[in-house]
Each structure stands twice: as C-alpha cells, then as structure tokens.
Structure 1
Amino acid sequence: MRFFLVMAGLLTAMSIRAQQSPALKLVACEGKAQGTYYIVKYLSADTASLESRIDSVFGVIDQSLSLYKPGSLINQFNATGHVRMDEHMRTVLQQAIFTSKATGGIFDITVKPLVYLWGFGVTKPSFKGIPPADSIKKTMPYIGYRYLRIKGDHLSTTKKGVQIDCNGIAQGYTVDVLGRFLEQQGIENYLVDVGGELCAKGYNQQHKIWSVGIERPSQGDTTYEPVQGLVRLPGKGIATSGNYRRFFDQGQTRFAHTIHPITGQALHNNIISVTVIAKDCFTADAFDNPLILMGVEEGLRYIAKHPEYGLEATYIYKDKDGGIKEAFSDGFKAYMEF
C-alpha cells in the first residue's frame, strides 16, 4: 500500500547532517512489481542502474510467494497441502508463525479463504458486498496457523483445505531483501519503497538521514493534508496498514481488505491507518495488520507490554463525531521532526 505516511505516497526528506563523499551520486530505480510500485534510491560512485537486477530479485521472490504467479511455491502448497520451500518461503513462514503466536492468532496467513470470500483475492466471489453469514461460518474451520507444520524445508498442513496468503507480510520481507542486495553491492546509503513499505540506511544526497513525510486524510477522505512532521528512518523499517486503498462501502460502513482471522470479519472499525516502525520492514509489516485489528487502545497497550518486539506506532482514526485524530506509542515521537 502506498505510504506518504499515514495515508500513503512517499516523500523523501531529511534531517541530521553527515559527511559524504562528493563523488557519490544519487541513483533512482522504479517500476512495478508485486501488484504495486517500487522505488529504490541509493548513493553510489557507479551510476549504472541496478534496475534489471532488482527486477530479478522480485522475480525470484514472486516464484516463491506470489498468488498471481501460476506454479509459484505458495500456489503449489494451496493446491496440494504440502510443498518443499525455498529460503524465501521458509523465512516468511517462520516469521508468520512467530507473529501468529505473538499476537494470539490475530495475525494468521491461513486467512486466505476469508480474503477471497470477502472479495479481496485474485478471484472474486459470485456476490458483492458482505458475505452470507453461513459462508463465513463454513469457512472458519479452515482458518488456523496451528494447522501448519514446518519440518526442515518442508511445509505441510494437518487439515485438508487449509490455504495461505502471505500478502500481509511478503512486501516487508521483499523490502529488506532488496536492502541486503544493495549492501552486497557495496551501497551504504539507500531507501527502498515497495508499495509504501520502506527501509532506509545511511543518508541521502543532501547528507541527511532519510525520512518520510506523514499525511492525514481530510474530513471528506478524498484528499490528504500534511501533518507537521517528518519521520526519520535511521536504519529502520516502516509499514502501514489502512482502510483507504482496498475496501468497499456498504451502507454507512467501510469494509477493508484486512480480515480478522478469529472473527472472520473484514476490518470495519474507526481506524483509518496504523503506521509501524520496527528494526526492519519485515517486522513492521508483520505487525501492522494485527495492530490495526486490535484497535487504538488495545494496540498501544500491546506495544507497551511487549518492548521485546521493538515496535512503535501511530494511529490515525475517527472519533465519534467523525473528527480525525492521532494517537502515538510512547517512543514514536522520537522519530518525528516537528
């Protein structure tokens, strides 16, 4: 999802001076991948573009985790209930199961049948809008990360019909893989943005730490107004989850593509978005969906209760009168410039 933080779009800005060699030039690569855009910016003495090699990285990960790619490893698993994983799939599955346990099942990649039932999958259901209650009830027995088994590089399920969807975590993983790829090329200063999930290291061409600007929606939800602040990314990852890109409205209620795996319901609370900062984008992306499903108060309590995960977050939400409000975890403001 796009990321001019808090609602989307990306602005690179900076703060904090540093010394850089004047020989380093800004190189930018951009394109489309994983159903969204990507932007990679880095400083290098060699201005030859790495775009073709970056595209190859996407290709390898898609062959593992893309539901849109016939024959991908994830599609093989969903068709048969077992697969021999590559390094990418194994790493993502291990993190997914860890996050499921850490959130009491609020994050769960076996949510795929519900995602499709609500109309947010690769294929669409025959009806539009809220699924019939009996359809949700019939689907729920197939939801549960506890049905997944990892043994070495082999993934299987103990229950026929269980399927997985890694879209809630794969982009964050991809961002970090691209960051490591750049470092392997000797690049120490970069920013990677895949559909609004980002990581950054070092400084930009103005010799300042990479930062992203934060936006909030207007009262009408159709335009965006900048908040007075920038979020610095000193070697961190950042991800956002919201109700503003993939959704449908029914009556006075907006239903977003984030599905609660315990209730079977699509997100329809008062939260517009949650933005999460973590040690890497993989972690931030894994926790943004469960934090938005928890809600503002529970989510902030969760972050405070679990400092071991290194999470900070800001919520944008609507109060009972429809006004747009913001709430921050204790440490989030330390990353902001006002």
Structure 2
Amino acid sequence: MLAAGALTAGVLLTGCGGESDDAVDPGEIAPITEAVDDAIQMESQLRGVISRLMIDCLTDAGFDVHAPDLTGDPDAWMAEEGFEPLVGSDPPGSRDIPTVAEAEERGVYVGLTLDPDREPDDDDGAWGYDPNDPFFAMPLEYQEEYQLARYGEEYLEAIAPGGDPGGELPVEGGCSGEVNVAVTEATGLENGKIEWPEVMGHSDAHLAEFESETLLSARNAWSSCVEDRGHPYFEFSRGSVDLWNYGQMFYKDSSYYSDSSESYPFDPPTGAPWEFDEAYPKEIAFAVDVAECADDSGLRETMTTEWNRTMSQAAMAHQEAIFAWHDSLEEALEAVQSLLTE
C-alpha cells in the first residue's frame, strides 16, 4: 500500500538546470510520486523489522524491557525530520516569510526568544530521551547491562566520554553486531542500508531552476513593497531571506546582534535598539508588513508555483533512478522480513 506524501523540501532537486515554462502532466508525475511515497514507507518498514530482530536477540539474552528507539513507531522519523510531499512541499525561503496570522502572533520569531517573562521550554523527550519511558524507569544496572548486550564492550568503551577509539569506531558487537551481519548477508547491502538517489538532495542546480524570471520579478516586487513601508530592501541568498537578524536589531538586550556595520547588509531601524516592551510591537508591525507584501506582490503564490514546477521537472528527469531505488528497497525489505521466520 502506498503511503501518503513523504519527502523533504530538499529532495529531487538536481540535474534540471535551465528555465522552462513547460508544465508536467499530473498523470505523468503520479507514478513517480507513488514510487517515492512507497519507497519511503518501505524504508520505515525496513527499520521496523531490523528493530524487531534486535528486540528478539535482546529478549533471548534475558531482557524484557527495551530501549524506546527500538520499540517506537518506525514511521516517527518521517515527522521528526520534516518530510513533506514530493510535489507540494514548502518552497525555499517560504518559511522565512510569515503569514499575516503568524506575523501577528510571533513577528519574525525574535521577541519570543527574548521575552523575559517567557516560560522555559519543556525539554522532556528531547533527543529521544523520555524519563517516563519504561526503559529509563529501570534500574541503572539494568540499562548498563542492556547496552552491553546490545553493542558489546569494545564499542561502548569507544563511545564513552573520554574514550579513544583511535580513529574509526570499532564494529558494533553484541546483538547489534549479530543483526547487522544477518541483515548484510540477507540483502547483500551493508547493514541493509540503501543510499537515496543523488537527485534527492539539496543543491545549487535546483535553486537555479527554481529562481526563474517569474520568481525574481515577484521577489523584486515584494522587496520594493517592504522598502516602501520603511524597511530595507531585502535580498535573497541561496533561496533564503534574512529577516531574523534584522529583527535582532530591534532589541537592546539581544546577545546575537553585532554593532559592526559590516555584519549585515542593512542598517538597523531608526532609533533602535529598544527595550523589549517597545521593541516587540515594532517587530510585530515589521513582520505584518513583510507578510502583507508577500500576499500583495504575489510572491507567496509564485514561490509555490515555481517550486512545484521545479520538483515535477526534477522527478521526470530522474525517474529511472527513483524507480531503481524503489525496487532495491522492495528487495531488501523482503530479504530482511525472511529473517523473522528463521
């Protein structure tokens, strides 16, 4: 069964240099989109099967409470890494420019981080650590013995604080080593890992294709609109526009802002910096101007249209590599699943 959209904003991007107004037929792109979505889902399933093999090995070793990275949802990595549809992902630079609603709520996200009354973030669960998980509720001795059975003594010593692996890390031992060997032998691939096609990476080539005359014209209209409202004429660099550092200049208590005139290509607002209570409303007003200009100039809509065109053309140009990647994952998944029945 095919998964719903699952691809990052930076995928399928290279090898499409040059500008083109040719639209891609949705009927032609659909099989490629389905292949990508299916491949991503199979990669999740592959991770899940390998985790299951690891759990079985550790259970045989006498452990019945397992680490959350093995018991968790194998699809969770897609949400954590911000995967988006093949066609329809956020264009480069779009997240730099808030919507009007976002601007009214958070500005350009500077003041929220500097607010002296802001509640501290709840970091529980950060970096995969959840103190409420049953594994971390187990005695420390259990956790240490578990990790020893999972990775082996040599590997654990090498990654321990102050450890000196002497260059490359040793091969994982314990259950991890056993599973890796079994998966490698079953698939013919080291640890069952299949590299994504090169086209599924961020590069200068996709930016060149994305930055069409239509997009550049819309950017100019947006920058001029923002300038007409009393702010700098902002330039884009590698698909992004730096509004955050300009927002830093509003605040007297910002530790990020440098007074060096060579640090940024724009001057601070007249009268800046201000204390937080005065600076934050000004940041909000600036962000609203930015957002309204993105709508009035048509930039927001143009970014989406041009990005979808770029993604569609890239997918068409590299469909052979995409289908080959899909088929390799399918074969690897079938091979690894067979290990569960042995």
Structures share fold, TM-score greater than 0.5? no
TM-score normalised by L of structure 2:
0.21
Q: Which has the higher helix share?
A: 2
Is the radius of gyration larger for structure 1 or structure 2?
2
- Structure 1 or 2: larger strand share? 1
TM-score for both structures, normalised by structure 1: 0.21
**Greater RCO, CA 8 A, separation 6+:** 2
